Each structure stands twice: as structure tokens, then as C-alpha cells.
């Protein structure tokens, strides 16, 4: 059976002529997760090709993502990658390999590196400020009439129609794990219901706003990888910033720094701040679900049962420190 990487590489080759590259252009895999992301290089021309997974986003949803990237760049001063059009002017191209189809998008190659890890307090403060600028923009932006992105709300995270599958189907979840995680999920849902979805709390977010999705080039900061962007609570962006490291003892220090950076740009009420732990628990449960539904990936295999065990520890801590409405 053809590997997922080989499948994505085949689509990448099909995409080359769409953007004026020759078949001899160099194509190197950068990342394979929800999508396949490639560096394409020919002579002095470099670009980043994203081959979308099947069935995750519609063409219009991808176009909507690109509209937001353009608006952030032109209206909010948030540096996002520019979309490079195909030879015929399209931003989203249709790719076919045999009887399989994918969408493809080409982005400019951006300079820079991921933020250094030697001063994460400073980096989280920067991250909070950039996130606030994005949230301010979404509150006033007049979205195109055909704008469409999915939501990360109660139903599509822990409810009946979860985008990443059910946390109950995570790796190594037995009766004990089911009991503690179920209690945590129930408390998260009750607190979210009380928190509400008012316009000051719920809107268009990046939904994967981690330091890994920033690029630093001198004083310039670029924000990348908007593939999960959609409608959710604004605090969900903070929760995503500590994805996979929620158990690190420095998380409170990092989230405090994020809040400081955020408040330099945008208001964040004390009531909102008190709910940070709920959103971190929500995100952790989503990652348990993601690992279960992506159990064949290298990351899921690496995390495995240990990730579920630590998640249960976090759930117990959340239940013991969070008021039950």
C-alpha cells in the first residue's frame, strides 16, 4: 500500500505545472500532519506548497482562510504569508492523481526561524500581543458574504460531531481513564455553557496559535499555518499555545506572560482570565481525541499511552481546583 507521504508527494508533482514550475523543480517535504507541506525550489524561486487532506475543508473554506490572511496583512499589520496564484490566476487549484482529488495552495517562502526556547516568557508575551491584534481585527472585519469556516465549539470539540474524533477513542483509555476524563469533559462543557458565546468572547480565531507557528526574522514576526482557523472562543487561542506541554510546571508563568502581552493591545476581563484552565483542559481533551484518530502518525505513536496518563493527571488537577457550577 502506498504510504501517506508518497500520496502527498504525487499530488505535489501534479501541482508543479499549475504554478509554472518545471517537472525538474526540487520538492521537499516540510511537514505531514493534517496536510502535506512542501518546499518547492527551482533556480532562485522558492515557495511553500500545501496539499490539503481529503475532506477536511471545502474549496470555499480554503478561499475564506486566504481572505482572512490577506485582510490581516493589509488591515491589521499582522504579517501572514502571501498566496501565490496559479498560472491561470486561481488561488486554490484542483489536483488529481488517478481517481483521487486534493486541493493545493502555494504560499510565498518566508524567511525566519521559530522563536528561541531560551526565554519563553518573552516569547509568550509576544505571542499574546499578536493574538490580541488578530482578535481585534476579527471583531470589526466585515467578512465576505460567502465566508465559511467551521467552528470549534462545544458540539464540534466534545459533543456529538467532533472534528478530531471522540476523546473516548484516544489511546489506552480504559475504565479508569474514561471515568476521570469524562468528569473533566462534563465540567468543561458546563463552564463553557455558563461562559457563553457573546461577541466579546467568541469569534474567528487562528485555532493553532503556538510558538511553532511564528517565524522570527529580526524584528519581523510572521504568523503561519491558518489551516485550523475557524470560529471559537478567543481564549481557545491561548489554550492552543500550550498544546502538548500542558503539564509543564512553567505553564502558569507562560500564560501570565501571554495575558500581559494580550492586555497591552486588547481588553481581557478578570472573568475571562479565570477560565483559562477550562480552555487548556478543553484543548488537552481534543489532543487526546486527535491522537486516537491519528494513531498511525509518528507523533501519535510517540505520545501514546503516556499522553493519556498525563491527561488524566491534568484532569484530576482541573477537577480539584475548578469550581463546579
Q: 174 phi and psi, to 5 degrees?
A: -100, -160
In a domain, 115, yes or no: no
pLDDT in tens, the chain (325 residues): 678 889 999 999 999 999 999 999 999 999 988 899 999 999 999 999 999 999 899 999 999 999 999 999 999 999 999 999 999 999 999 999 999 999 999 999 999 999 998 999 999 999 999 999 999 999 999 999 999 999 999 999 999 999 999 999 999 999 999 999 999 999 999 999 999 999 999 999 999 999 999 999 999 999 999 999 999 999 999 999 999 999 999 999 999 999 999 999 999 999 999 999 999 999 999 999 999 988 777 777 788 889 999 999 999 999 999 999 8
Do 104 and 131 have their domain in common? Answer: no
Do 57 and 205 have their domain in common? Answer: no
Q: Judge residue 14's burial from the number of C-beta atoms within 10 Å of its C-beta, 0-12 exposed, 13-18 middle, 19 or more buried.
A: middle
In a domain, 211, yes or no: yes
pLDDT of residue 67: 98
**C-alpha distances in Å from residue 238, one per residue of 134, 206, 245, 285:** 13, 10, 13, 15
CATH number for the domain that contains residue 173: 3.90.1200.10
pLDDT of residue 3: 86
In a domain, 73, yes or no: yes
Do 77 and 203 have their domain in common? Answer: no
pLDDT of residue 300: 75
CA atoms within 13 A on the CB side of 127: 31
Do 180 and 305 have their domain in common? Answer: yes
Dist CA 103 CA 55 (whole Å): 10
In a domain, 37, yes or no: yes
Which of 66, 87, 108 is where one domain is finished? 108
pLDDT of residue 312: 98
Do 103 and 160 have their domain in common? Answer: no
Letter string b/e over residues 145-156, b meaning 16 or more CB atoms within 10 A of that residue's CB? eebebbbbbbeb
Q: What is the DSSP letter of 187?
A: H
Do 279 and 147 have their domain in common? Answer: yes
Is the CA virtual torsion 86, 70, 94, 101 positive or negative?
Answer: positive
Amino acid at each position: 500500500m502506498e504510504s501517506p507521504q508518497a500520496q502527498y508527494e504525487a499530488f505535489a508533482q501534479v501541482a508543479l505545472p499549475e504554478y509554472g514550475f518545471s517537472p525538474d523543480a526540487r520538492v521537499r517535504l516540510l511537514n505531514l500532519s493534517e496536510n502535506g507541506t512542501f518546499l518547492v525550489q527551482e533556480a532562485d524561486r522558492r515557495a511553500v506548497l500545501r496539499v490539503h487532506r481529503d475532506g477536511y475543508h471545502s474549496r470555499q473554506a480554503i478561499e475564506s482562510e486566504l481572505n482572512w490572511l490577506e485582510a490581516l496583512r493589509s488591515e491589521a499589520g499582522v504579517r501572514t504569508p502571501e498566496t501565490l496564484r496559479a498560472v491561470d490566476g486561481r488561488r486554490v487549484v484542483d489536483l488529481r492523481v488517478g481517481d483521487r482529488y486534493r486541493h493545493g495552495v502555494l504560499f510565498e517562502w518566508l524567511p525566519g526561524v521559530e522563536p528561541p526556547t531560551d526565554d519563553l516568557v518573552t516569547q509568550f508575551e509576544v505571542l499574546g500581543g499578536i493574538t490580541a491584534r488578530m482578535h481585534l481585527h476579527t471583531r470589526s472585519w466585515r467578512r465576505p458574504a460567502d465566508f465559511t469556516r467551521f467552528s470549534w465549539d462545544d458540539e464540534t470539540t466534545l459533543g456529538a460531531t467532533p472534528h478530531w474524533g471522540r476523546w473516548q477513542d484516544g489511546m489506552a483509555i480504559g475504565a479508569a481513564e474514561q471515568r476521570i476524563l469524562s468528569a473533566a469533559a462534563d465540567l468543561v462543557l458546563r463552564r463553557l455553557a455558563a461562559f457563553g458565546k457573546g461577541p466579546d468572547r467568541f469569534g474567528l480565531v487562528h485555532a493553532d496559535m503556538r510558538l511553532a507557528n511564528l517565524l522570527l526574522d529580526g524584528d519581523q514576526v510572521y504568523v503561519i499555518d491558518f489551516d485550523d482557523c475557524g470560529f471559537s472562543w478567543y481564549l481557545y487561542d491561548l489554550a492552543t499555545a500550550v498544546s502538548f506541554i500542558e503539564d509543564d510546571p512553567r505553564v502558569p508563568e507562560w500564560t501570565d506572560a501571554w495575558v500581559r502581552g494580550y492586555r497591552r493591545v486588547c481588553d481581557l476581563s478578570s472573568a475571562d482570565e479565570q477560565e483559562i484552565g477550562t480552555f487548556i483542559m478543553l484543548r488537552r481533551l481534543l489532543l487526546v481525541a486527535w491522537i486516537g484518530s491519528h494513531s498511525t502518525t509518528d507523533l501519535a505513536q510517540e505520545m501514546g499511552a503516556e499522553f493519556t496518563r498525563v491527561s488524566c493527571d491534568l484532569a484530576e488537577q482541573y477537577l480539584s481546583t475548578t469550581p463546579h457550577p
